[in-house]
Structure 1
Amino acid sequence: MIWKLGERLEQIETETWKETRPPAVFLTDSKNARRDLELAGIQYENEIQTNKIGFCKLETQQECLAGTLCIPRLLDVLGSRYRIYFFVNQDHVVLVDDEDFSMRLIRRIKRKKTHQGETKERFIYNFIAEFMSRDQEILMQYEKILMRMEEDVMQGKIENFQRELMPIRRKLLTLRGYYDEMMDMGTELEENENGFFAKKQLKYFGTLSNRADRLMGRTAHLLEYAQQVRDLYQAQVDAKQNSNMQFLTVLSTIFFPLTLITGWYGMNFENMPELKNGYPGVIALSLIVIVVCILIFKKKKIL
């Protein structure tokens, strides 16, 4: 599919483009990528396989800019990603997408944007900004989850905490790396090494870099917050373990003298005090030891 730049992204036929050759945006797939790159006057020697795209990057070549986008699915950040090639030369933009993600983005741009794609710089800005438009909302959802987890920990609800926290940390780490890549891409576009972009239009790419930088900063903040919540959880676990150890210590302290008494009278020495008919006396002595230990523990606020 081909759209003219500056005509609200209306679709036109390939034959018409061949005759008039207006600046255009091509949307194609891997099978037809070579043909459409040739129509756009772009030569790209490397293989084009979207399933091998692993991260977002931009390469400056002599005749074009060649980039890849590896975009996390916001509802499944740790799952499969949207993978897109894009190529830019003096007049044209070519998108290679084997799914319908790029098509859906363009349709959303057509519905939402007044200035859709008067220039290739504006189109690239709208395209990238559109798939990053909901990221702030997703990060806010992660923040709410962490706040709820923090409240649960404060209330002593720590069951399944680690199982819930670890996926969130992995998602945030994934998003932080993704935003770092997008920030680098925006910077490289703004550098305009090949001179494909008008200087007065470079502000759009600076805006993209700033947006990615803000998102990365927000993600880094959430990672720090997640670590603080984890530290709070660990403190609660340690406090609970200390409480258990304290209880066991109290029991051990109480039963130690009782064990000594029973062991002593179990020896059956001939001259042992209260050896004969001493059972009530041993019971009384044991009760006195227990009461004294409890009073001492309460005085020291251990109980």
Structure 2
Amino acid sequence: MFYTFRDEAENITVEEAKACDFSLGYIGISEYDEVGRLFDLPKNRVETLGYCKYGECVCVCLDKIKIFIRHSFVIIVCDNPKEKLPIFQNVLSKLDSTDAGRGKIVYTFCDELLTEEAGIHAEFQKTLAKLEKQILDGKQSENLNRILYCEKQKCISKNNYYSKVQNIIEELKDNDFELFDEAELKYFDNLSDKIARLRDDVRMIIDSTVHLRDAYQSAIDLKLNNTMKLFTVVTVIFAPLGFITGWFGMNFKNMPLVSSPYGVAVAGIVSVAVTVGMIVWLKLKR
């Protein structure tokens, strides 16, 4: 899809776009070779995230989206054009003949992409809130630690992505080949501020992930401590009983109560008294 701007965005053919003073294109990978020959784009598709120069053409690579900028055109190449089509349509709706310059187009498209990133942050936060509730309720899954690790790695990848986008924006502000009017350079300051806010948000999410992992480990330690406490109490209570059993189990002829008809009852009473006494003592000592 190619457009030129008169009173409003007007759909034109590729050949008409080539003949226009300025046009905006949105194409998929399958169209790249044909359009590339017509507009003299790089023969090899750009895959590296960053900012590149090809002759008098500047290429901005944002993940699976490439933006080629020259004085006569801005062409957006998307690996999955249907996925980002709503974003492109939003860009078109915000442009008219008075401000459809290269800088405004690049700014508006990048701004729409970054707005989408804010929604991804909200999903991260919902996931962390759900995991936090599981920890507080003591119902966390066995693979919670792995989930937290994966979420943290996703956030770190996002932070690295924003860092590279920040570098791209700085390169665009240098205005190589004077592609942008001076008045348009202010748009990139706005993008820089938005990227800075996104980086702050994602760092906060990373910190929250670390805190959740610590809370999860503390919950595990507390559970282990309670288990060990129970085992300790049981051991303390039954240690005297083991001693009594061992004592009366010795086969000596002159052992007290061996021949007495009340021997079993006395041993039982002593055992119960010792057990009750240990429980009372433990409760008093807490």
- Does 2:260 align with 1:289? no
User: SS at the partner of 1:65?
Assistant: strand
Trace 1:224-235 onto structure 2 (pairs within 5 A): 224-235=207-218
User: SS at the partner of 2:67?
Assistant: strand
C-alpha deviations, 1:217-252, integer Å up to 9, x for none?
101101111221221121111111100100000101
Deviates more, 1:189-198 or 1:215-224: 189-198
Give the 3 Å change call, closer, same or farther, for CA 152–30 of structure 1 in structure 2.
Answer: closer
User: SS at the partner of 1:133?
Assistant: helix
Mapped partners of 1:115, 1:252: distance in 2 = 82
Deviates more, 1:115-124 or 1:247-256: 115-124
The answer for the alignment partner of 1:80 in structure 2 is: none
TM-score (norm 1): 0.82
Give, as a single letter, the amino acid of the residue that structure 1 aligns with 2:189.
G
- Does 2:104 align with 1:105? no
Give, as a single letter, the amino acid of the residue that structure 2 aligns with 1:44.
P
The answer for the alignment partner of 2:116 in structure 1 is: 134
Mapped partners of 2:17, 2:50: distance in 1 = 30
The answer for the alignment partner of 2:42 in structure 1 is: 44
Match for residue 280 of structure 1 among 261, 265, 272: 265
Deviates more, 1:163-172 or 1:125-134: 163-172
Match for residue 218 of structure 1 among 197, 201, 216: 201
The answer for the alignment partner of 2:139 in structure 1 is: 157
Mapped partners of 2:214, 2:196: distance in 1 = 27
Give, as a single letter, the amino acid of the residue that structure 1 aligns with 2:67.
F
User: SS at the partner of 2:61?
Assistant: strand
The answer for the alignment partner of 2:49 in structure 1 is: 56
Give the 3 Å change call, closer, same or farther, for CA 171–115 of structure 1 in structure 2.
Answer: farther
The answer for the alignment partner of 2:240 in structure 1 is: 257
Give the conservation status (yes or no) of the 8 Å contact 1:57–1:181: yes
Trace 1:1-303 onto structure 2 (pairs within 5 A): 1-5=1-5, 8-19=8-19, 21-40=20-39, 42-45=40-43, 47-48=44-45, 53=47, 56-70=49-63, 83-100=64-81, 101-111=83-93, 113=94, 118-160=100-142, 161-162=144-145, 164-277=147-260, 278-301=263-286
User: SS at the partner of 1:183?
Assistant: helix
Give the conservation status (yes or no) of the 8 Å contact 2:3–2:17: no
Deviates more, 1:213-222 or 1:135-144: 135-144
Give the conservation status (yes or no) of the 8 Å contact 2:27–2:75: yes
Q: Where in structure 2 are there 5+ consecutive unaligned residues?
A: none
C-alpha deviations, 1:177-216, integer Å up to 9, x for none?
3222222222221122333222221111222222122112
TM-score (norm 2): 0.86
User: SS at the partner of 1:290?
Assistant: helix
Mapped partners of 1:154, 1:11: distance in 2 = 56
Q: CA RMSD in A?
A: 2.5
Give the 3 Å change call, closer, same or farther, for CA 141–31 of structure 1 in structure 2.
Answer: closer
Displacement of 1:138 in angstroms is: 3.0
Identity of aligned residues (%): 26
User: SS at the partner of 1:194?
Assistant: helix
Instruction: Provide the aligned length of Structure 1 versus Structure 2.
Output: 281
Displacement of 1:167 in angstroms is: 4.1
Displacement of 1:35 in angstroms is: 4.1
Deviates more, 1:171-180 or 1:181-190: 171-180
Mapped partners of 2:128, 2:239: distance in 1 = 46
Mapped partners of 1:131, 1:63: distance in 2 = 26
- Higher helix proportion: 2
Mapped partners of 1:15, 1:48: distance in 2 = 21
Give the 3 Å change call, closer, same or farther, for CA 260–225 of structure 1 in structure 2.
Answer: same
Mapped partners of 1:150, 1:96: distance in 2 = 40
Displacement of 1:98 in angstroms is: 4.2
Q: Where in structure 1 are there 5+ consecutive unaligned residues?
A: 71-82
C-alpha deviations, 1:128-147, integer Å up to 9, x for none?
11122232233223223323
Give the 3 Å change call, closer, same or farther, for CA 221–136 of structure 1 in structure 2.
Answer: same
